[in-house]
Structure 1
Amino acid sequence: MTILTEQHLAKPPLTIRLCGPRGFCAGVDRAIQIVVLALKAYGAPVYVRHEIVHNRYVVEGLEAKGAVFVEELDEIPPEHRNQPVVFSAHGVPKSVPADAEARNLFYLDATCPLVSKVHKQAMRHQRLGRHVILIGHAGHPEVIGTMGQLPEGSVSLVETVEDAEVYLPEDPDNLGFVTQTTLSVDDTAGVIAKLQERFPNLQAPAADSICYATTNRQDAVKEAAPGCDLFIVVGAPNSSNSKRLVEVALRAGAQRSLLVQRASELDWDEIGPISTLGISAGASAPEVIVDEIIEAFRARYDATVELAITAEETENFLVNRELRGVPLTREDMAFVNG
């Protein structure tokens, strides 16, 4: 028999629908692992061009271990040119490794293999004489990296259905498309449908460009969101896949949806009275922050956690050959796994 304390009775009931899969994907896990392994193998500092993944908790944790984040390679001091520089999981234009080689820098590429796949898809379209349409968000590092795989002028960026309606190519019969890996599946389908309607000879890539992790996380949110008074997505404001999860939750039936980086950001007055809460996490958000947010709600509610699991992920991407065999401590593994 359960004895209910006065404190227990005072807390309003709350059902938390916790999505699965959520959080780190295989590409993010690999990228973080590359930086940690490089620090083990070569010592600090290890330079990282751009945020390795879009999450401040991860970035600050790596900085504490000896990683130094830079936006451009000319920020690396000449006396440290023998130290590794890691390229982020989002991918980089071809000009970046070329610049690294010109500076005699030792670099390790942490580009997600699924982003590299999109690069190859785009290059295949061009090799076959097609102008490439990239469906994505202007200014996102992945988009910059993908467009930078091909000569200037050979890729056109289309962001929305409205863009697709007015896009005017030079040769409408020789077009191929690829997409950013972290887009909304539903939004992207609408853009593709409009392009195919206008350009019947438009060629698709050999395989879907949106990655499995993006699709899986959106599917779980779609299942959990209906009937939620509030849906929280753990993620950074510059994380494309996290922002898409907020949008998916609203479309799937959540009354409100918030993007939150840490529990300390929760505005309890804004949250107000709720009885059903959904929680997911973007692909670069560690599980420790999900736990932190759940505990923040447990402190104020008599919370029951229900799992909304739509897929099991078993993907594992190998790190760079130079780093294989470098041992990690239990503490390192806990950090890498979020």
Structure 2
Amino acid sequence: MLELIQEAESAFAQATTPAQLEDAKARFLGKSGRVTELMKGLAQLSVEEKKTRGAEINQLKQGIEAALTARRQALAEAELAAQLKAEALDVSLPGRARGQGGLHPVTRTLERIEAIFGSMGFDVADGPEIETDWMNFTALNNPANHPARSMQDTFYVDMKDAEGLPYCLRTHTSPMQVRYARAHAAKHAGAEQMPEIRVIAPGRTYRVDSDATHSPMFHQCEGLWIGENVSFRDLKSVFTDFCKRFFETDALQLRFRPSYFPFTEPSAEIDIAFAEGPLKGRWLEVAGSGQVHPNVVRNFGLDPEKYIGFAFGMGPDRLTMLRYGVNDLRQFFEGDLRFLAQFK
């Protein structure tokens, strides 16, 4: 009997998978197995022999079942060990920390612009990006069919204003100058002397345009200073000071080049040239400006015979390109974190 148990243990030990172990089990404990054949032989023995022989066979069966259970446990433990090894966590590797975000470079520029002009006494105005035709065009001396409207490729919205004209995505932030000035004039109506209007209007604007230096969605920052004695000299002083502080250098020069804008008269493009760095000696356009047109002053709700001032408009996206040395505006808005992460 002991020899049969040893034979079963040897057979079970050679099984390397649960299926092989079940095949080995059948050779000893199956319907045609060795132990079953011994049980069948009891029928030919006497009663006393059956008791003795039966006890021996039961002991044999228990020994084989114990060997089978032990091998099953060993195979299960081996399988678990292999699984744990395959799925093991290497605690010596560095952890995967959650990435830390940062402000978009254009957002940094907008905050910088607001801080600089805020220190000069300018308020910051914000308003709707969907505008009426009157606010976006007419109030700024762009009446219907005026040639200046063709200078701006406009996105229109499928809804009409009180005059039956379609709303549009604002093509500039100048409508906020109108809204702010009208609210300011209404607030101080009847006052002996109205406080000066100093305001900038940064925000998103939209035009049908896309190339290396233009995007269908882009940012603008319009500025307005209206008072009883505000001149081009003030415009030059304010914008020169802004550029020097924005680019953190005195080694630059500004040039006011005659131009045309329907909402200012006279008008000028503002160019900048750096005295050092990679852009040294090149004149670059950074803003448009001019004395506010009398018709626009009237639309502010003010008397153009009494109040005068200047307005300017610049592109924060372009200023960001100059500040960081980027030559394609579209990179700022493609959402590539490999590009944006360097500005954190």
Superposition TM-score, scaled by structure 1 size: 0.24
With normalisation by structure 2, the TM-score equals 0.24
| Structure having greater relative contact order (Cα 8 Å, sep ≥ 6) | 1
Find the structure with the greater CA-based Rg.
Answer: 2
By percentage of residues, which structure has more helix? Answer: 2
